């Protein structure tokens, strides 16, 4: 029976490690590993190389695995092949960061009391390092477990090479279960774990009706205007005010939340006021908290991200543009099939405006999480141990491609132990993480590993 796992002992451990934790976080945050920017490619590699040396300095075996894009880092605290194996997934690439809204330099680590500012502090470098410190403790205190780390560097661009990479290395990456730390609680007051993630289907609508700009005085009235036609088409697809998708059959496969899920939503600590504040919204389509949560987590969407075409400059230039494009995506929920949704939308558009060309872009199925069974119970127990309260299982509105790939290829169930808070600003300016979440996170991970080691 491993000892040393009381809350107090773990608190002492975290305190003793704080300076080192901050030093590591500083080093990794100050490597601008922006995966989407080609000119940052050397930085992304540098982040991978640093990660390997970090894992090695903790006594892990670690190496880089090449992919056709950015590399993957795999590390292992292996004790005995007889013991169960758990793999912690995080990503070390980050979103771009620039602009006047940043109060500190995004790629400088800035400490303000218990808060740590910088791109990647919460998404996902802070949680990655936290899990590593928790794992080190569990290993040093005899948890009978092999703990591995799978650190991706392409999560922010949709994990295009992750599935192939883990398939090619399926033997080395084999694991009994995986735990992902890349999700956000609903509020600091109560831990939360995702019971499901929305999927995504990207689409482009394109309409070309001419070759060049034409004068709206000489041709207007007879000429087709592709911008206007795309606007009409979009209005036939979705009610802009309510968000209700009007394409027949769109909602057919949506699994509504269960009574238990709705109960969890009611007590998860979500408030409309905080939601508006965190996202800087002036108003919402609905104001009832349960209705907002249902919409962002359990319902699909049809969103227009941009319409391009025609004149965009100052004043009014009276042209009829020859061409217009709309960038659209649908967030999907269990059991919607991305391919079926594409078919449905293509058929609908063909009927309404046969000249519009619809092309399908990036797709990702929705994910139905597991909230029962021994692993989910271990997550519950570890969160309660570290943060004083059991987590509520809520769905998340975003998508993590790697989760589906790990379940499919490694055939190991995935669970979530997220540490980020809404005010940490995922993908936003002034992204931050904080010491209470890191301290609790180290305890939660150490306790989770202890529980897995004791699991039959
Ligand atoms: Zn992330």
Q: Are 118 and 104 in contact (CB under 8 A)?
A: yes
- Say how many Å lie between the CA of residue 282 and the centre of ligand 1: 26
Closest alpha carbon to 123 in 96, 93, 153: 93
Percent of the chain exceeding pLDDT 70 equals: 100
- Say how many Å lie between the CA of residue 123 and the centre of ligand 1: 4
- Say how many Å lie between the CA of residue 145 and the centre of ligand 1: 26
Residue 85 has pLDDT above 70, yes or no: yes
Confidence of residue 376 (pLDDT cuts 50, 70, 90): very high
Q: Report the alpha-carbon distance of residue 70 to residue 93 in Å, rounded.
A: 9
- Say how many Å lie between the CA of residue 432 and the centre of ligand 1: 13
Residue reference for tokens 């930085």: 43
Long-range own/partner contacts, residues 343-352 (CB < 8 A, 24 or more apart) = 344/247, 344/248, 344/249, 344/250, 345/203, 345/237, 345/247, 348/236, 348/237, 348/247, 348/248, 349/205, 349/233, 349/237, 352/233, 352/236
What is the pTM assigned to this prediction? 0.84
Residue 305: enclosing H or E segment and its boundaries?
A: strand 303-308
- Say how many Å lie between the CA of residue 270 and the centre of ligand 1: 21
Q: Report the alpha-carbon distance of residue 40 to residue 22 in Å, rounded.
A: 24
Read off the pLDDT of residues 278-298 as tens digits, 9 standing for 90 and up.
Answer: 888 999 999 999 999 999 999
- Say how many Å lie between the CA of residue 19 and the centre of ligand 1: 24
- Say how many Å lie between the CA of residue 42 and the centre of ligand 1: 20
Q: Report the alpha-carbon distance of residue 296 to residue 80 in Å, rounded.
A: 43
C-alpha R_g of the chain: 24
- Say how many Å lie between the CA of residue 89 and the centre of ligand 1: 10
Say how many C-beta atoms besides its own lie within 10 A of residue 170's C-beta: 12
Q: Report the alpha-carbon distance of residue 360 to residue 367 in Å, rounded.
A: 20
Read off the pLDDT of residues 153-186 as tens digits, 9 standing for 90 and up.
Answer: 999 998 999 999 999 999 999 999 999 999 999 8
Q: Are 426 and 122 in contact (CB under 8 A)?
A: yes
Closest alpha carbon to 87 in 342, 402, 344, 316: 402
Q: Report the alpha-carbon distance of residue 219 to residue 215 in Å, rounded.
A: 6
Residue 99: per-residue pLDDT = 84
- Say how many Å lie between the CA of residue 152 and the centre of ligand 1: 10
Alpha helices in 60-161 (DSSP H): 126-140
Q: What is the DSSP letter of 104?
A: S
As a whole number, mean pLDDT of residues 74-92 equals: 97
Residue 427: per-residue pLDDT = 85
């Amino acid at each position: 029976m491993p000892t040393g796992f009381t809350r107090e002992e773990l608190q002492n451990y975290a305190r003793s490690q704080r300076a080192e934790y901050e030093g590591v976080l500083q080093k990794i945050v100050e490597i601008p590993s922006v995966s989407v920017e080609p000119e940052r490619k050397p930085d992304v590699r540098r982040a991978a190389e640093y990660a390997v040396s970090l894992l090695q300095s903790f006594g892990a075996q670690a190496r880089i695995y090449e992919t056709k894009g950015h590399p993957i880092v795999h590390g292992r605290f292996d004790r005995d092949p007889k013991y169960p194996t758990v793999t912690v997934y995080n990503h070390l690439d980050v979103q771009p960061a620039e602009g006047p809204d940043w109060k500190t330099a995004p790629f400088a680590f800035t400490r303000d009391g218990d808060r740590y500012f910088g791109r990647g502090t919460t998404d996902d470098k802070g949680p990655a390092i936290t899990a590593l410190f928790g794992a080190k403790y569990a290993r040093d205190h005899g948890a009978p477990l092999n703990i591995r780390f799978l650190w991706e560097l392409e999560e922010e661009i949709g994990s295009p090479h992750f599935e192939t990479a883990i398939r090619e290395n399926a033997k080395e990456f084999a694991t009994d279960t995986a735990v992902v730390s890349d999700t956000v609680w609903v509020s600091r007051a109560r831990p939360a774990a995702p019971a499901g993630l929305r999927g995504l289907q990207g689409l482009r609508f394109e309409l070309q009706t001419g070759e060049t700009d034409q004068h709206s005085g000489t041709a207007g009235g007879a000429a087709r205007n592709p911008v206007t036609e795309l606007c009409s088409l979009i209005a036939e697809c979705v009610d802009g005010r309510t968000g209700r998708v009007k394409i027949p059959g769109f909602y057919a496969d949506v699994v509504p939340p269960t009574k238990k899920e709705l109960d969890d939503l009611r007590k998860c600590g979500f408030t409309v006021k905080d939601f508006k504040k965190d996202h800087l919204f002036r108003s919402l389509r609905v104001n009832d908290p349960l209705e907002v949560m249902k919409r962002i987590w359990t319902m699909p969407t049809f969103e227009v991200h941009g319409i391009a075409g025609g004149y965009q400059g100052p004043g009014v230039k009276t042209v009829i543009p020859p061409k217009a494009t709309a960038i659209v995506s649908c967030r999907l929920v269990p059991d919607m099939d991305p391919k079926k949704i594409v078919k449905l939308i293509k058929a609908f558009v063909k009927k309404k405006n046969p000249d519009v060309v619809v092309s399908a872009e990036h797709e990702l199925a929705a994910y139905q999480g597991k909230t029962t069974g021994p692993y989910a119970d271990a997550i519950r127990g570890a969160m309660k141990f570290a943060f004083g309260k059991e987590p509520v299982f809520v769905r998340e509105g975003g998508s993590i491609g790697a989760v589906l790939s790990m379940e499919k290829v490694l055939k190991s169930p995935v669970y979530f132990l997220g540490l980020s808070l809404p005010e940490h600003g995922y993908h936003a300016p002034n992204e931050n993480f904080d010491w209470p979440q890191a301290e609790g996170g180290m305890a939660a991970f150490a306790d989770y590993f202890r529980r897995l080691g004791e699991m039959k």
